[in-house]
Amino acid sequence: MDELAFLSAVETGALLREGQVTPEEAVETALRRIEAADPGLGAFVDVDGDRALEAARAIGPQDRRVFAGVPVAIKANTPAEGLIMDYGSRLLAGHRADHDAHLVRRLRAEGFVIVGATKTPEFGILPTTEPVAHGPARNPWDPARTPGGSSGGAGTAVASGMLPIAHGNDGGGSLRIPAACCGLVGLKPSRGRISRGPDSGDSFLICDGVLSRTVLDTAAALDALAGYAVGDATWAPPPTRPWSAAVRRAPGALRIAVTVADPLGAPLHPEHERAVRETAAALAEAGHAVDELPGVLPGAESVELFLTAFAANVALGHLHAQALAGRPAGDEDVEPLSRAMVAHAAGVTSTEYLATVAGLQALARRTVALWSGFDVLLTPALSQRPPAIGAIRGTLEPPMAAFEAATAFVPFGGLFNVTGQPAVSVPAGFGEDGLPLAVQLVGPPLGEDTLLQVAAQLELARPWAQRRPPSP
């Protein structure tokens, strides 16, 4: 059971196609792992074993789809028919989606078997996953620490071997942060790459994706999820070849810029700097030209702009949750930080919000202009080590202290939600505390192919997928 549990999604799919494992056995393995590990780690808010096994039994022995029979989970802020979708909030306690998001339909169409819904902090605000509604998700490498957020339940599930791959989304680092905390691959695709429909319109900040153990898994999942869906107002153009094919090819010699300067001017943890420097050396050894980034990435001047745009997204989620609940939210229904973010958004006029978006677009243009001098940017994935459970949560006082702590923890992430560029967190060894280290790679607009190729080079040079956390 353990050997199957820690295979990648692509490897699991290959065993299924070869007939060495049946879809029912793959799903049963996932369900047994969840039953054994989840009580101590808290990844899931809902497990639907009966329907998952029924779906697995319906997959025929000659099914050649890459992911036919592979178990997956959906983050509980995205509708998957019949599963809990509560945004991590007591306001929507027990709410079940009555339809599938477009991306969930695509997962089903590719043969994935959905086994449940994973935990998110309330309204996806924080880079930790400790909703009052459900209690914390914990890091499999050290259950006293956070797995990151806001896709923290997904990170816990994959890193602990409950699943080979899991859905998540990213509005300020929410795929890359749990990937960094848990030793996984977390790609934030280009803006518009994966449809947010049918419930959500275009999003300036939020992208969907997966958490996985390997670069190939991430590339193949992007092949499955990307593309126009009926009614999308805007979308990213399709690639010239599948990402799962591109990732098997060397990118050639690239110009790679490196920075370890915290955009907010705070000290960087020395282990994170070491991870970046060792990764830079590995990239130079692979034949790339590696140089320091001149200057510092936009930081303090962008925080207030980002906060206003992000708070507007939280307020929209809050309104949607009230509509689904059929009643206004009381103070007891939502956490103090959520109320503070909604209040911040309510204090911004429509004209001020449009000015904020214009300011962020100007900031994005200045940032993207840097890519005329290089192909990929290498940065720390995190500024600090993963904090202890309880250190960053939505019940801190004053409420915005949690957002300030979150910004200090992950200052390198949100900028690339603003620019819309693809960015990926990849493992980079382990720290003295036994927790994973990671770095972030940022590509040019629509540059997932280059980004994934460089990540694959690092994976080949320093394999990471076979490392396992302690058994639960």
CA-to-CA distance for 330 and 90, rounded, in angstroms?
10
Give the CA distances from residue 58 to residues 20, 112, 427, in Å, rounded to whole numbers and listed in that order. 17, 12, 36
b/e code 233-260 from CB counts within 10 Å (16+ = b): eebbeebeebbbebbeeebeebebbbbb
Q: Which of 104, 105, 135, 17 is nearest to 69 (CA)?
A: 17
Residues with a catalytic annotation lie at 75, 150, 174
**Residue 305's CB: how many other CB atoms inside 10 A?**
19
User: Do residues 179 and 185 lie in contact, with contact meaning Cβ atoms separated by under 8 Å?
Assistant: yes
Q: DSSP letter at 213?
A: S
Q: How far is C-alpha 291 from the geometric centre of its chain's CA atoms?
A: 28
In 58-142, which ranges are continuous DSSP H helix? 102-109
Q: Please give the single-letter amino acid code of residue 428.
A: A
User: Do residues 413 and 421 lie in contact, with contact meaning Cβ atoms separated by under 8 Å?
Assistant: no
Query: Residue 261 is encoded by which pair of tokens?
Result: 């300067």
CA-to-CA distance for 360 and 366, rounded, in angstroms?
10
Q: What angle do CA 246, 251, 254 make, to 5 degrees?
A: 150
Which sign, positive or negative, has the C-alpha torsion 328, 330, 333, 339? positive
Query: Residue 262 is encoded by which pair of tokens?
Result: 């915290």
E-state strands within 287-375: 289-292
Give the CA distances from residue 59 to residues 5, 162, 283, in Å, rounded to whole numbers and listed in that order. 20, 21, 42
User: Do residues 381 and 440 lie in contact, with contact meaning Cβ atoms separated by under 8 Å?
Assistant: yes
E-state strands within 48-180: 71-75, 113-118, 165-170
CB half-sphere exposure, 392, CA atoms < 13 A: 26
CA-to-CA distance for 137 and 160, rounded, in angstroms?
12
